[in-house]
Protein backbone atom coordinates (compact mmCIF):
# COMPACT_ATOMS: atom_id res chain seq x y z
CA UNK A 1 0.00 0.00 0.00
CA UNK A 2 1.26 3.44 -0.82
CA UNK A 3 1.35 6.11 1.86
CA UNK A 4 -1.04 8.30 -0.12
CA UNK A 5 -3.58 5.48 -0.56
CA UNK A 6 -3.25 4.48 3.09
CA UNK A 7 -3.73 8.06 4.26
CA UNK A 8 -6.73 8.71 1.99
CA UNK A 9 -8.30 5.37 2.94
CA UNK A 10 -7.82 6.03 6.67
CA UNK A 11 -9.30 9.53 6.42
CA UNK A 12 -12.27 8.16 4.48
CA UNK A 13 -12.78 5.39 7.03
CA UNK A 14 -12.57 7.92 9.88
CA UNK A 15 -15.17 10.15 8.21
CA UNK A 16 -17.56 7.24 7.56
CA UNK A 17 -17.17 5.90 11.10
CA UNK A 18 -17.97 9.32 12.60
CA UNK A 19 -20.98 9.71 10.29
CA UNK A 20 -22.63 6.41 11.25
CA UNK A 21 -23.78 7.62 14.68
CA UNK A 22 -25.62 10.52 13.04
CA UNK A 23 -27.28 8.34 10.41
CA UNK A 24 -28.49 5.85 13.03
CA UNK A 25 -29.56 8.60 15.46
CA UNK A 26 -31.35 10.49 12.68
CA UNK A 27 -33.34 7.39 11.72
CA UNK A 28 -34.08 6.77 15.39
CA UNK A 29 -35.35 10.35 15.85
CA UNK A 30 -37.65 10.00 12.85
CA UNK A 31 -38.98 6.48 13.47
CA UNK A 32 -39.08 6.52 17.28
CA UNK A 33 -40.02 10.13 17.98
CA UNK A 34 -42.08 9.32 21.08
CA UNK A 35 -39.25 7.25 22.60
CA UNK A 36 -36.78 10.09 21.99
CA UNK A 37 -39.31 12.55 23.45
CA UNK A 38 -39.63 10.48 26.65
CA UNK A 39 -35.84 10.31 26.95
CA UNK A 40 -35.66 14.07 26.46
CA UNK A 41 -38.29 14.67 29.15
CA UNK A 42 -36.23 12.67 31.66
CA UNK A 43 -33.07 14.72 30.97
CA UNK A 44 -31.76 17.05 33.68
CA UNK A 45 -32.08 20.11 31.44
CA UNK A 46 -35.33 19.14 29.67
CA UNK A 47 -36.75 22.60 30.35
CA UNK A 48 -34.04 24.11 28.15
CA UNK A 49 -35.31 22.06 25.19
CA UNK A 50 -38.66 23.85 25.49
CA UNK A 51 -36.88 27.11 24.63
CA UNK A 52 -36.35 25.70 21.12
CA UNK A 53 -40.11 25.29 20.65
CA UNK A 54 -42.26 22.18 20.55
CA UNK A 55 -39.94 19.27 21.50
CA UNK A 56 -41.62 16.92 19.00
CA UNK A 57 -40.78 19.32 16.15
CA UNK A 58 -37.24 19.77 17.46
CA UNK A 59 -36.79 15.98 17.50
CA UNK A 60 -37.99 15.66 13.90
CA UNK A 61 -35.90 18.61 12.69
CA UNK A 62 -32.79 17.30 14.44
CA UNK A 63 -33.50 13.82 13.02
CA UNK A 64 -33.65 15.17 9.47
CA UNK A 65 -30.51 17.26 10.06
CA UNK A 66 -28.59 14.27 11.44
CA UNK A 67 -29.72 11.96 8.63
CA UNK A 68 -29.00 14.41 5.80
CA UNK A 69 -25.80 15.69 7.40
CA UNK A 70 -24.63 12.17 8.26
CA UNK A 71 -25.13 10.87 4.71
CA UNK A 72 -23.50 13.98 3.21
CA UNK A 73 -20.57 13.64 5.63
CA UNK A 74 -20.19 9.90 4.92
CA UNK A 75 -20.10 10.50 1.17
CA UNK A 76 -17.75 13.46 1.52
CA UNK A 77 -20.23 15.81 -0.13
CA UNK A 78 -19.77 19.35 1.21
CA UNK A 79 -17.70 17.72 3.96
CA UNK A 80 -16.82 20.84 5.93
CA UNK A 81 -20.39 22.21 5.75
CA UNK A 82 -21.81 18.82 6.80
CA UNK A 83 -19.39 18.67 9.75
CA UNK A 84 -20.37 22.19 10.86
CA UNK A 85 -24.07 21.33 10.64
CA UNK A 86 -23.63 18.09 12.56
CA UNK A 87 -21.65 19.87 15.26
CA UNK A 88 -24.41 22.49 15.55
CA UNK A 89 -26.91 19.66 16.15
CA UNK A 90 -24.61 17.70 18.46
CA UNK A 91 -23.79 20.54 20.87
CA UNK A 92 -27.32 21.38 22.07
CA UNK A 93 -28.24 17.70 22.29
CA UNK A 94 -25.14 17.06 24.38
CA UNK A 95 -25.75 20.04 26.67
CA UNK A 96 -29.45 19.28 27.18
CA UNK A 97 -29.46 15.48 27.38
CA UNK A 98 -26.02 14.38 28.63
CA UNK A 99 -24.81 17.18 30.91
CA UNK A 100 -25.98 17.06 34.52
CA UNK A 101 -26.52 13.33 34.93
CA UNK A 102 -23.94 10.99 36.41
CA UNK A 103 -25.52 8.10 34.47
CA UNK A 104 -24.78 9.78 31.14
CA UNK A 105 -21.05 10.34 31.63
CA UNK A 106 -20.22 7.69 29.00
CA UNK A 107 -22.49 9.23 26.35
CA UNK A 108 -21.24 12.71 27.31
CA UNK A 109 -17.62 11.78 26.61
CA UNK A 110 -18.67 9.85 23.48
CA UNK A 111 -20.22 13.08 22.19
CA UNK A 112 -17.09 15.02 23.11
CA UNK A 113 -15.02 12.53 21.08
CA UNK A 114 -17.44 12.80 18.14
CA UNK A 115 -17.21 16.60 18.34
CA UNK A 116 -13.42 16.23 18.13
CA UNK A 117 -13.79 14.14 14.98
CA UNK A 118 -16.08 16.75 13.43
CA UNK A 119 -13.67 19.55 14.39
CA UNK A 120 -10.87 17.67 12.61
CA UNK A 121 -12.81 17.82 9.35
CA UNK A 122 -13.91 21.42 9.90
CA UNK A 123 -10.34 22.62 10.45
CA UNK A 124 -8.48 20.36 8.01
CA UNK A 125 -11.14 19.59 5.39
CA UNK A 126 -9.17 16.35 5.01
CA UNK A 127 -9.19 15.01 1.46
CA UNK A 128 -9.97 11.32 1.69
CA UNK A 129 -12.05 9.66 -1.01
CA UNK A 130 -15.12 11.85 -1.38
CA UNK A 131 -17.76 13.13 -3.76
CA UNK A 132 -16.33 16.67 -3.54
CA UNK A 133 -13.07 15.43 -5.13
CA UNK A 134 -14.96 13.82 -8.02
CA UNK A 135 -16.94 17.00 -8.63
CA UNK A 136 -13.75 19.12 -8.63
CA UNK A 137 -12.23 16.90 -11.37
CA UNK A 138 -15.26 17.45 -13.63
CA UNK A 139 -15.00 21.27 -13.52
Q: What is the reported pLDDT for 128?
A: 67
Per the structure, how many domains does the chain have? 1
The Cα–Cα gap between 78 and 90 comes to 18
- pLDDT of 2 higher than 70: no
- pLDDT of 132 higher than 70: no
Q: Taking phi first (over 0 means left), then psi (-120 to 50 degrees means alpha), and beta for anything else, what does residue 53 get?
A: left
The Cα–Cα gap between 136 and 38 comes to 45
How does pLDDT run across 89-115, given as a tens digit for each residue? 999 999 888 887 767 688 889 999 999
Neighbours of 38 (CB within 10 A): 10
Q: What is the reported pLDDT for 118?
A: 96
Would you place residue 52 in the very low, low, confident or very high pLDDT band (cuts 50, 70, 90)? confident
CA-CA-CA-CA torsion sign (12, 13, 14, 17): positive
The DSSP secondary structure of 52-80, one letter per residue, reads: GS-HHHHHHHHHHHHHHHHHHHHHTSSHH
Would you place residue 137 in the very low, low, confident or very high pLDDT band (cuts 50, 70, 90)? low
Q: What domain range is 123 assigned to?
A: 3-138
Would you place residue 24 in the very low, low, confident or very high pLDDT band (cuts 50, 70, 90)? very high
Amino acid sequence: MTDQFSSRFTITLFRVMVSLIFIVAGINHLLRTEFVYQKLQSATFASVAAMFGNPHYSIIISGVAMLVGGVSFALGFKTRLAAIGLLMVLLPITLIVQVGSITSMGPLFKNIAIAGGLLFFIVHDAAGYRVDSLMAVRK
